[in-house]
Amino acid sequence: MVDRQKEFTGAGPVRDGFELDEKVLTAYMEENVEGFSGSLEVRQFKGGQSNPTYQLSAGGKKYVLRRKPSGKLLKSAHAVDREYRVITALNKTDVPVAKSYALCTDESVIGSWFYIMDCVEGRIFWTTENTPIEQRLEIFDAMNDSQAKLHMVDHEAVGLADFGKQGSYFERQISRWSKQYRASVDEPYPAMEELIQFLLDNIPENDQTTIVHGDYRIDNMIFHPTEPRVLAILDWELSTLGHPLADFSYSCMAWHTPSDVGGTGYVGLDLEKMHIPAMQDYVDAYCKRTGRSGIDNWHYYMAFNFFRLSGIVFGIAGRVRDGTAASAQAVATAAMAGPLAEMGMAEARQA
């Protein structure tokens, strides 16, 4: 829904201002990365505006390095250590993630914290339409399976008991994004105010806590080069402990979004012709995999996700207003803040 540049969109020469000390990095990897040897070649992935991302090659093997940007940062931003921690914990499970090797918190090595993981070779699909139609139903099923596996992980058993707060996920999220929205507007937006009140008044009682990805969608996955199989889930920046049904319903938002909104919605499309599963079939598959008899309060979860996205986009609109986000893309994205809140209220009225 909210467009943003991706990390893994092809590696090229390292851009000016992003250079790494290859000699120092080689010495670090020889000491800390199991099996590393050879002459190091460094390339940089396009994108990576949040956390600059590099492809490292040596001895016929490729790695990925993700680092914090240089300079002064907000305390909780660019938490590569959290990304590394969750990926490392999930290496012990059947959730598809890249193998992690090392986390470096010594800024003297390359100038900021970083971690190193495997470079997983495969396909990235930026939109549903980019997927091969003859594999599309199986690709959806593979996405569903991987998310179900994530939500079935015992977070305490894999060492993530303190990866986030336990319980009250909706209360905390509503508070967080309400504050951002209100700090970003000059006057209240009626649909957003109504939506906030609805969400506060109708929080479901089935409080649950699992590991959540936070941005689970097709372009955050690497698929096998030829098979409809997820090899690695990417972009764990928003991962925390939260409610699994908030995470799962987020991945279903396209079924509730008109096809002319952001170019990612399915409402109005011939799903059968496009080999996109019906939403109820997708939900049923998730329920079967996670042992649920069904999902109550579905429209609440959808309203919540439209609210969350609207809160994020109102934040972008605030930066456009303040002159700190002046790009054409930021302006276009900011214009979606109100419509997203309206879509949230449409879901609320069906709840």
Residue-wise DSSP of 248-315: HHHTTGGGGSBTTSTTT--BTS-HHHHTPPPHHHHHHHHHHHHT-S--SSHHHHHHHHHHHHHHHHHH
Distances (CA, A) of 216 to 93, 185, 197, 200, 314: 18, 28, 26, 24, 21
Shared domain for 114 and 140, answered yes or no, is no
SS3 45: strand
What is this structure's pTM? 0.89
What is the predicted pLDDT for the residue at 46? Answer: 75
Is 1 contained in some domain?
no
At 144, which helix (H) or strand (E)?
helix 136-151
Is 343 contained in some domain?
yes
What is the predicted pLDDT for the residue at 96? Answer: 98
Is 6 contained in some domain?
no
Is 4 contained in some domain?
no
Burial class (CB in 10 A: 0-12, 13-18, 19+), 16: exposed
Any idea what the Cα angle at residue 38 is, between residues 35 and 40, rounded to 5°? 110
Is 65 contained in some domain?
yes
Is 2 contained in some domain?
no
Q: Which amino acid, 12?
A: G
Please say which residue of 60, 89, 118 terminates a domain: 118
Q: Is it the case that residue 81 has pLDDT exceeding 80?
A: yes
Residue with tokens 């059947």: 94
Structurally, how many domains does the chain consist of? 2
Question: What is the rounded distance in angstroms from the CA atom of residue 55 to the CA atom of residue 47?
Answer: 13
Neighbour count for residue 57 (Cβ, 10 Å): 16
Q: Which amino acid, 317?
A: A
Q: How confident is the model at residue 7 (pLDDT cuts 50, 70, 90)?
A: very low
Please say which residue of 93, 118, 143 terminates a domain: 118
**Torsion angle (degrees, nearest 10) of CA 82, 84, 85, 91:** 150
Shared domain for 132 and 114, answered yes or no, is no
Shared domain for 171 and 229, answered yes or no, is yes
Q: Of 337, 283, 300, whose CA–CA distance to 1 is shortest? A: 337
Side by side, which strands form the sheet with 41-45?
11-12, 41-45, 53-58, 61-67, 114-118, 100-104
Question: What is the rounded distance in angstroms from the CA atom of residue 65 to the CA atom of residue 55?
Answer: 6
Shared domain for 58 and 137, answered yes or no, is no
Shared domain for 147 and 26, answered yes or no, is no
CATH number of the domain to which 259 belongs: 3.90.1200.10
Shared domain for 244 and 279, answered yes or no, is yes
CATH number of the domain to which 76 belongs: 3.30.200.20
* pLDDT, tens digit, 9 for 90 and up, residues 12-46: 898 888 899 999 999 999 999 999 999 999 999 87
- Average pLDDT of 211-237? 95
Q: Where are the beta strands (DSSP E) in 73-219?
A: 100-104, 114-118, 210-212
Is 310 contained in some domain?
yes
Shared domain for 98 and 194, answered yes or no, is no
* pLDDT, tens digit, 9 for 90 and up, residues 110-145: 999 999 999 999 999 989 999 999 999 999 999 999
Q: Is it the case that residue 71 has pLDDT exceeding 60?
A: no
> What share of the chain has pLDDT > 90, as a percent?
78
Shared domain for 159 and 200, answered yes or no, is yes
What is the predicted pLDDT for the residue at 45? Answer: 87
Q: How confident is the model at residue 3 (pLDDT cuts 50, 70, 90)?
A: very low
Shared domain for 66 and 179, answered yes or no, is no
Shared domain for 91 and 237, answered yes or no, is no
Is 5 contained in some domain?
no
Please say which residue of 61, 93, 118 terminates a domain: 118
Shared domain for 112 and 140, answered yes or no, is no
- Provide the residue range defining the domain that includes 67: 11-118
Q: Of 45, 57, 192, 208, whose CA–CA distance to 118 is shortest? A: 57
* pLDDT, tens digit, 9 for 90 and up, residues 249-283: 999 999 999 988 766 899 999 999 999 999 999 99
What is the predicted pLDDT for the residue at 47? Answer: 56
Shared domain for 80 and 218, answered yes or no, is no
Mean pLDDT computed over every residue of the chain: 91
Q: Which two tokens stand for residue 245?
A: 């049904």
Work out whether the CA dihedral 110, 113, 118, 124 comes out positive or negative.
negative
